[in-house]
A and B are shown apart, each in its own frame.
Chain A
C-alpha cells in the first residue's frame, strides 16, 4: 500500500469539512489514529460523530481536506474506494445484518464476494469467529431469531471476517437493552486488548475509561479536545466538555 506503511499512523484526518446543504457538520476536523490505538469519539447528539466515521469509511464524501487510511487518500468514488473499505470494518447502531441470510452466511459473505475466498473456507472461518464472539450455536439461525446483543456480536464477527486493519463502531450498544450491553462491550474490549485499531463512538464512559487510549470530544463538528480518558474526566479544558462529562457521569 502507501509509502507510509511503516509509519505508526493508520488514519489521518486533516482539515476535513463536510456540509449537508447549508449545515456544516464537520468543521475543520483533524484527528490521527495510531496503529493499535483505541480511540473513543464522544460528543452530544448531532455533533457529527457518525458523519466522521462515515467519511473515514467513504460512505460519505468530504467537501475539503483529506482523509488518509494506511497512507492512501480516501477517494470520492471509483474502484479504489471498495478496496480500501475492505480493510476497514464498520459496526452500526442498528446492526444492519442481512435478514435474508443465515448468521453464518452473513459473516462469510464479505470474504466470498470481496476477497474471492472459497465458500467452504469462508464458512469455516465464519464459524470460528462466531465461537469467538460466543454464539457458535447460532450459525444456522436467521438474524430475526437472535437478541439484539447477539445480533450486534454477529455484526462484529461479520466485520472481523474481512481481517480489517481498522474497526469503526458507531454507538454499537445504543440500541441494546441494558442487560445486553455488557456482552457486546466485552467482545470489543477483547479486540482492543488484542491490539485492534478502533474508533468507537459511544456514551459508555466506563468502557472509555477502561479500554480506550484517548478520547476525542467533538461538538458542533469541531474536535474541541483530545486526551487520555482520566485527564478528560478529571479536568476537561473546555466548558462544553466539562458540561458533557458532568451530564454523562451524573445522570
Chain B
C-alpha cells in the first residue's frame, strides 16, 4: 500500500506534466476529429457523386489503417521523404484524422435518423442545400450524435496512449511518463496504476460532460 503512495508522492510533478500533455493531445485531436469528421460527413451527403466518393474514400482509408501505422507515416515516413512534420502535429494529426473517420460515420448515421420530411420542409421554404445542412440537418444530427460522439471521445482518450508508446518525440504524455518512472523505480504495478487513474479521470470527465449535454440538448420528437 505504502508503495502506491510513495510512487505518486515522489513523482507527482512528472505525472502531472504527463497528464497535462495527454490533455493537450486529446483536446487538439478532438477539434481536428470534429471539424474533419463534419466535413467528411458533408461530403458523403452532398448531392454530387464525386464528393460522395471522396468522403467514402477518406473513411475507408483512415478507418482501415492502424493508428500506429499513421503515426509512423506522419512522423518518420514524411521526414524521410523530406517533409518533416512537427511531432505534436504528427501526433494530433494522426489521432484526429483517424478518429474523424469514425466521427464522420456517426454524423452520417445521425443524419439518416433525421426524416426526409425535414429536408423537404427546409427546401420548400427556399433554403439552399448548404443552409439546409447548416441550419436543419447538422444541428439535429449533432444532438442525435452526442452519445456515440461521447464513446468516440473516450476511445480517443485511450488511443492517445499509443502516441506515448510510439517513437514520436513530443513531451512525454501520461503513458510515456509512466514508462520512464517504471524504468527508474521498477515499481511496475504501482506506476501504471497511477497512469490508469489519470486516464480514468479524463474518461469519467468525458462521460459526465456527455450526460450533461444529453440532458440539455436532447430533442424530443
Kindly list chain B residues whose C-beta atoms are within 8 Å of the C-beta of A85: 123-126
Kindly list chain B residues whose C-beta atoms are within 8 Å of the C-beta of A86: 125-126
**A179-207 interface (Cβ within 8 A of B):** none
Inter-chain CA distance A162–B121, complex, in Å, is 13
The 3 closest A-B CB pairs, nearest first, are A86-B126, A96-B121, A90-B124
Whether A144 pairs with B220 at a CB distance below 8 angstroms is yes
Q: List 16 A-B contacts (CB under 8 A).
A: A82-B128, A83-B126, A85-B126, A90-B120, A92-B120, A94-B117, A100-B139, A109-B125, A109-B135, A113-B125, A114-B126, A114-B127, A142-B220, A155-B121, A158-B121, A162-B126
A residues adjacent to B (C-beta < 8 A): 54, 57, 59, 79, 82-83, 85-90, 92, 94, 96-100, 109-110, 113-114, 142, 144, 155, 158-159, 162
Kindly list chain B residues whose C-beta atoms are within 8 Å of the C-beta of A155: 121
Whether B126 pairs with A96 at a CB distance below 8 angstroms is no
Whether B139 pairs with A57 at a CB distance below 8 angstroms is no
Residue of B121, B135, B219 contacting most chain A CB atoms (<10 Å): B121
Whether B220 pairs with A98 at a CB distance below 8 angstroms is no
CB-based nearest B residue for A98: B136
Chain B interface, DSSP helix/strand/loop, else mixed:
helix
Whether A96 pairs with B125 at a CB distance below 8 angstroms is no
B residues adjacent to A (C-beta < 8 A): 115, 117-118, 120-128, 131, 135-136, 139-140, 143, 219-221
Inter-chain CA distance A54–B125, complex, in Å, is 13
Whether B220 pairs with A89 at a CB distance below 8 angstroms is no
Inter-chain CA distance A86–B131, complex, in Å, is 14
Inter-chain CA distance A110–B124, complex, in Å, is 10
Whether A162 pairs with B125 at a CB distance below 8 angstroms is yes
Kindly list chain B residues whose C-beta atoms are within 8 Å of the C-beta of A144: 219-221
Whether A98 pairs with B118 at a CB distance below 8 angstroms is yes
A116 CB to closest chain B CB, in angstroms?
12
Report if A113-B124 is in contact (Cβ < 8 Å); known contacts: A96-B117, A98-B118, A99-B219.
no
Contact partner of B143 among A90, A100, A159, CB < 8 A?
A: A100
Inter-chain CA distance A220–B129, complex, in Å, is 32
A108 CB to closest chain B CB, in angstroms?
11
Whether B127 pairs with A99 at a CB distance below 8 angstroms is no
Report if A59-B121 is in contact (Cβ < 8 Å); known contacts: A100-B219, A109-B135, A144-B221.
no
Whether A82 pairs with B126 at a CB distance below 8 angstroms is yes
Report if A113-B135 is in contact (Cβ < 8 Å); known contacts: A59-B123, A85-B124.
yes
A16 CB to closest chain B CB, in angstroms?
19
Inter-chain CA distance A162–B117, complex, in Å, is 19
Kindly list chain B residues whose C-beta atoms are within 8 Å of the C-beta of A57: 124
Kindly list chain B residues whose C-beta atoms are within 8 Å of the C-beta of A99: 140, 219-221
Inter-chain CA distance A96–B124, complex, in Å, is 11
Whether A96 pairs with B120 at a CB distance below 8 angstroms is yes
CB-based nearest B residue for A112: B135
CB-based nearest A residue for B125: A110
Inter-chain CA distance A139–B4, complex, in Å, is 59
Inter-chain CA distance A110–B122, complex, in Å, is 8
Inter-chain CA distance A204–B136, complex, in Å, is 32
Inter-chain CA distance A86–B127, complex, in Å, is 8
Residue of A54, A85, A109, A113 contacting most chain B CB atoms (<10 Å): A113
Kindly list chain B residues whose C-beta atoms are within 8 Å of the C-beta of A114: 125-127, 131
Inter-chain CA distance A97–B123, complex, in Å, is 13
Residue of A97, A99, A142, A155 contacting most chain B CB atoms (<10 Å): A99
Report if A96-B220 is in contact (Cβ < 8 Å); known contacts: A85-B124, A110-B126, A113-B131.
no
Whether B127 pairs with A89 at a CB distance below 8 angstroms is no
Inter-chain CA distance A87–B157, complex, in Å, is 50
Kindly list chain A residues whose C-beta atoms are within 8 Å of the C-beta of B126: 82-83, 85-87, 110, 114, 162
